[in-house]
Amino acid sequence: MNQYPFSRYLYVFYSFIFLLYIMNVFIGSESLNYLLGILTIITLIISFPLASGLFKILGGAFLAIGSFLFFTTGQPLLNVPQLLTSNLSLLALLAMLPWMNTVVQSGRFDRSLNQLIKVNVSDLGKLYPRSSIITHTLAAFLNLPAATISQEVLKTNLSSLSKELRNSFINTSTLRGYSLALAWSPLEITLAVAIFTTGVDYVSILPWVLLITVITILLDSLWGRFHYQKYSYGNTDEDNKQKLNVKELTKKIAHLVLSLALFLTLVILFGNLFQLGFTLTVTLLIFPFAFVWSMIMKRSRRFWVIGWNTWKTKTNTMQNFIVLFISLSLFSNSLNQSSFLDIIQKPLLLVSDYSFILLFFIQAIFVILSLFGIHPVATIGILTGIITPLLEIMNPVSIAIVLITGSVATFTVGTYGLLVTLTSINLEQSPYRITLKNMPFALFTGLIGTLVAYLIL
């Protein structure tokens, strides 16, 4: 991005478009929506050269196929701009997420939680559930940094162990704990995309994804407990143990959990009270909630210092998702208006009696494509042709569940995905070895998700 000096100020342009979009949600002006469509085209033109190679390929494919489908509908070219704004809500959400990460960091909750890993335990089997749950808790707020923080702490604490054992423990406990938080966290973009695509309410899927999360994390913790119990923890640092204030740590954890519960409650209440979609509700609540939280903790100054720089950096580097979501808008909207949707629907009707196989097939596609570096959001876009007609013949909640659990599974096995890549660098381990180690977990998560989705059809 250094070859484009203007890219340092893209946050101004992007923010203007997102604010305009949010205003128009309440105004409902067709003229303003058309103007947004034109601005979206300009945004795509600016962002495309700055996107990574993979997202250029995916975006280019969606634009090419979407353009072809659009011309088959016989609509005039002037209608194109209004087809490109449907995913702006997801981009606006993505731009606001750094503020929640910031308030957690400014309150030093990440440090407090990871201190718990240093509490003495006799073997790795007892350490496994603790490491997994701590990473899980952090991931609900911090997303990607949660895994990195936990891995760094574990690397230091397990330095006396063999590299092979240490790496095995870290990549299973942190990646699995991290991924399961993304199934229900309102701050996760793949959850928002699944809800947006299927049109279901967050409240209607929350009990089911929480059930899947609890079942999976308990069974994985049980596996880790027995698999690693033969290995001694080896942390005898008395100084670390003496410095721990259990009462203070308990208060920090309770504070964090209650804050998340309050945020979830506000999302549900405001969404129902003002009849707002899940994505828009979360987008509107993140900043005021984070700011008030920082004031209550008397960390507002630190919140602004960290938050402003983090937000600018993150917003300036949104090009991958901008290219993906805008091109996906053209593809999905053109498909919905074309005759090809009927062609796709006919064979799906024939296999609708084999719902379990169909649902598991969707799960498997996520895992397979993730091995080639395809982001789960892009996979949902690729599956649009299957998903849209399925919503007419199957329970949309079931479809949402398989999309969410399919997405979650990819984070542990996506060989070229960001999480596995960062873990590979951090542990100096082959990403293929990490993928192989977590593949049984990914398939098991998909199976649990498929079973739950099938039972509520």
Indicate whether 3 pLDDT > 70.
no
Task: Grade residue 316 by pLDDT with cuts at 50, 70 and 90.
Answer: very high
User: Region 258-266: what's the mean pLDDT?
Assistant: 88
Helices marked H in 317-430: 319-337, 340-350, 355-370, 376-382, 384-393, 396-413, 418-427
Two tokens, residue 132: 């997994």
More confident residue, 204 or 392: 204
Segment 379-389 shows an average pLDDT of 83
What is the average pLDDT value for the chain, to the nearest integer? Answer: 86
**Does the pLDDT value for residue 238 go beyond 50?**
no
Whether the Cβ atoms of residue 98 and residue 311 lie closer than 8 Å to each other: yes
Tens digit of pLDDT for each residue in 50-99? 998 888 988 999 999 999 999 988 889 999 999 999 889 989 998 998 89
**pLDDT interval class at 184 (50, 70, 90):** very high
How many CB atoms within 10 Å of residue 129? 18
CA distance 158 to 263: 35
Terminal alpha carbon distance of the chain = 47
The residue with greater pLDDT, 373 or 58, is: 58
For the stretch 330-352, what's the b/e string if a residue is b when 16 or more beta carbons lie within 10 angstroms of its beta carbon?
bbbbbbebbebeeebbeebeeee
| Residues 6+ positions from 394 with CB-CB distance below 8 Å | 352, 355, 457
% pLDDT > 70, the chain: 91
Residue 1 has pLDDT above 60, yes or no: no
Backbone angles phi, psi at 339, to 5 degrees: -75, -10
Cα–Cα distance for residue pair 84/281, rounded to 1 Å: 21
Any idea which residue has 């973009």 for tokens? 189
pLDDT digits (tens, 9 = 90+) for 20-54: 999 999 998 999 999 999 999 999 999 999 998 88
Does position 147 have pLDDT exceeding 70, yes or no? yes
**Residue 438's pLDDT is what?**
94
Percent of the chain having pLDDT more than 90?
40
Residues 6+ apart with CB under 8 A from 172: 128, 224, 437, 438, 441
Who wins on pLDDT, 397 or 8?
397
Per-residue pLDDT at 211: 96
pTM for this one? 0.84
Higher pLDDT, 417 or 419: 419
Contact 24, 35 (CB under 8 A): no
Confidence at residue 254, expressed as pLDDT on a 0 to 100 scale? 82
